[in-house]
């Protein structure tokens, strides 16, 4: 078996190793494995401990936990961890570990996925900018359009039958086009929401707190009349789940709080963890949700959908999509709300 792994290692562009648990030494590594740590084979073969300082401290306990599962499962797959070098560069690694027939030996295959992680971060950052821009555009378009509708209705009500026929036709034309524009904006937002729930879950390892900061920073920039706080006792929280879907959940819930929280209102993002799960609370002191709307809140095209305090459009889909995404990731969502006192949405997700 070990001879076959040697042959694979000499052909592979990914890192390959065999490690003796009792001797705490590598019995084989290929050149690709050594290059990941910016060393040569001889250095690592002579002293396996040379690789330890490069592993991010917050990932060390996670690796110990994953490797402890080898005794039970004989295989541990989809394990991500990071290396940090003195020049400030960070490498993201993806690995699978196998317990060989002799339980003293572990074989591992390690892939450098730094480029993929950077691309993933770009997607999340781009998504944050895009969704914030969409929210802003929808608000900036919907506000004047609703105002136009109200003015036309006021003219009609005030003038009664005294409006000349040619002006009446123009008013009807403006009213029809305004309604059509609002439908276009609403349909566009609906489509943006609906596309999210049909994409499969792709688990990666990332820091929840970093992802929340990236998401909320974009919203803070366009909502300076609200107060935002990230409240947690944690310095980092590295978990394995779908980072893009996680971003969509947080963005939708915080955006929802923004819509229903008045000027100078407060929006808190609270992060907690338990042994197997972590919980995100999005809490605001906004207008709250009337009790009559609670039973239908997570339904699609729900009658509980309401326009925001500044006439931000409601698609009636936002919270139903959030619930779908949370459940796709193996979690659950709940809420507490009282009219005129605010709302709190809680999302609990597994760490693995």
189 touches 314 (CB < 8 A): no
**pLDDT tens per residue, range 118-166:** 877 777 666 666 666 666 555 556 666 666 777 777 777 776 666 677 7
- The one-digit pLDDT tens for each residue of the chain (352 residues) are 668 888 888 999 999 999 998 899 999 999 999 999 999 999 999 999 999 999 988 888 888 888 888 888 899 988 999 999 989 898 999 999 999 878 789 999 999 999 888 877 777 666 666 666 666 555 556 666 666 777 777 777 776 666 677 777 777 777 777 776 766 666 655 555 555 555 567 788 889 998 899 888 878 887 888 999 999 999 889 998 888 889 889 988 998 898 899 989 999 999 999 989 999 999 999 999 989 888 888 887 655 556 666 655 554 457 888 898 899 899 999 999 999 999 999 999 998 8
Both tokens of 282, joined, read 């999005």
Residues 143 and 228 in one domain: yes
Secondary structure element (H or E) that encloses residue 202, with its range: none
The last residue of a domain, from among 65, 93, 112: 112
Beta strands in the chain (DSSP E): 15-20, 25-29, 75-84, 90-99, 105-112, 204-207, 227-231, 238-241, 266-273, 277-284, 332-338, 342-350
305 touches 315 (CB < 8 A): yes
Residues 94 and 182 in one domain: no
| Residue 331: Cβ within 10 Å count | 20
Segments forming the whole domain that contains residue 60: 2-112
The rounded Cα 45 to chain-centroid distance in angstroms is 40
5 touches 29 (CB < 8 A): no
| Residue 351: Cβ within 10 Å count | 16
Cα dist. 15→12, 20, 38, 54, 85 in Å?
7, 17, 12, 16, 18
Q: How many domains does the chain have?
A: 2
CATH label of the domain that carries residue 137: 3.30.565.10
DSSP secondary-structure letter at 309?
Answer: T
- Burial (Cβ within 10 Å: 0-12, 13-18, ≥19) of residue 269: buried
Residues 77 and 21 in one domain: yes
DSSP 261-275: S-TT-EEEEEEEE-S
| Residues contacting 13, CB < 8 A, separation 6+ | 32
Residues 25 and 79 in one domain: yes
How many Cα atoms are found within 13 Å in the side-chain-facing hemisphere of 73?
Answer: 12
Q: Write down the residue that tokens 């970093």 correspond to.
A: 210
What's the rounded Cα separation, in Å, for the pair 64 and 26?
17
Q: What is the pTM of this model?
A: 0.63
Both tokens of 79, joined, read 């394990």
Give the residue among 192, 194, 256, 190 at the shortest CA–CA distance from 219: 256
User: Which pLDDT value is given to residue 316?
Assistant: 47
Residues 339 and 236 in one domain: yes
Residues 226 and 322 in one domain: yes
Going by DSSP bridges, is the β-strand pair 25-29/15-20 parallel, antiparallel, or unpaired? antiparallel
Residues 223 and 289 in one domain: yes
CATH label of the domain that carries residue 53: 3.30.450.20
Give the residue among 275, 236, 212, 230 at the shortest CA–CA distance from 82: 236
Using DSSP's 3-state secondary structure scheme, residue 333 falls into strand
Residues 146 and 23 in one domain: no
**pLDDT tens per residue, range 13-52:** 999 999 998 899 999 999 999 999 999 999 999 999 999 9
Residues 30 and 167 in one domain: no
The last residue of a domain, from among 46, 77, 112: 112
Residues 273 and 331 in one domain: yes
User: Which pLDDT value is given to residue 137?
Assistant: 59
Residues 338 and 192 in one domain: yes
Give the residue among 32, 31, 11, 57 at the shortest CA–CA distance from 238: 57
The last residue of a domain, from among 112, 135, 158: 112
Residues 101 and 231 in one domain: no
76 touches 62 (CB < 8 A): no
């Amino acid at each position: 078996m070990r001879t076959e792994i040697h042959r694979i290692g000499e052909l592979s562009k990914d890192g390959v190793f065999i490690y003796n648990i009792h001797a705490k030494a590598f019995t084989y590594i290929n050149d690709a494995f050594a290059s990941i740590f910016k060393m040569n084979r001889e250095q690592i073969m002579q002293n396996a401990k040379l690789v330890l300082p490069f592993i991010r401290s917050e990932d060390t306990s996670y690796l110990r936990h994953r490797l402890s599962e080898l005794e039970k499962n004989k295989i541990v797959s989809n394990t991500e961890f990071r290396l940090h070098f003195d020049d400030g560069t960070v490498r993201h690694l993806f690995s699978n570990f196998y317990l060989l027939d002799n339980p003293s030996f572990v074989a591992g295959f390690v892939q450098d996925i730094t480029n993929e992680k950077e691309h993933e971060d770009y997607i999340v950052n781009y998504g944050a900018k895009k969704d914030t821009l969409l929210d802003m555009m929808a608000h900036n378009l919907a506000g004047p359009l609703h105002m136009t509708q109200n003015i036309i209705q006021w003219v009609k009500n005030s003038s009664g039958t005294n409006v000349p026929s040619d002006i009446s036709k123009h008013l009807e034309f403006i009213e029809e086009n305004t309604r059509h524009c609002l439908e276009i904006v609403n349909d566009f937002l609906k489509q943006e929401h609906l596309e999210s729930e049909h994409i499969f879950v792709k688990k990666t390892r990332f820091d929840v707190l970093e992802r929340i900061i990236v998401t909320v920073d974009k919203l803070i920039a366009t909502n300076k009349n609200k107060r935002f706080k990230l409240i947690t006792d944690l310095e980092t929280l590295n978990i394995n789940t779908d980072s893009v879907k996680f971003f969509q959940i947080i963005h939708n819930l915080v955006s929802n709080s923004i819509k229903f929280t008045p000027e100078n209102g407060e929006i808190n993002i609270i992060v907690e963890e338990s042994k197997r799960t972590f919980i995100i609370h999005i809490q605001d002191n906004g207008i709250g949700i009337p009790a009559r709307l609670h039973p239908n809140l997570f339904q699609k095209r729900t009658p509980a959908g309401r326009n925001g305090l500044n006439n931000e459009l409601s698609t009636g889909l936002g919270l139903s999509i959030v619930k779908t995404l949370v459940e796709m990731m193996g979690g659950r969502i709940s809420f507490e709300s009282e009219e005129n006192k605010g709302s709190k949405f809680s999302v609990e997700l597994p760490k693995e």
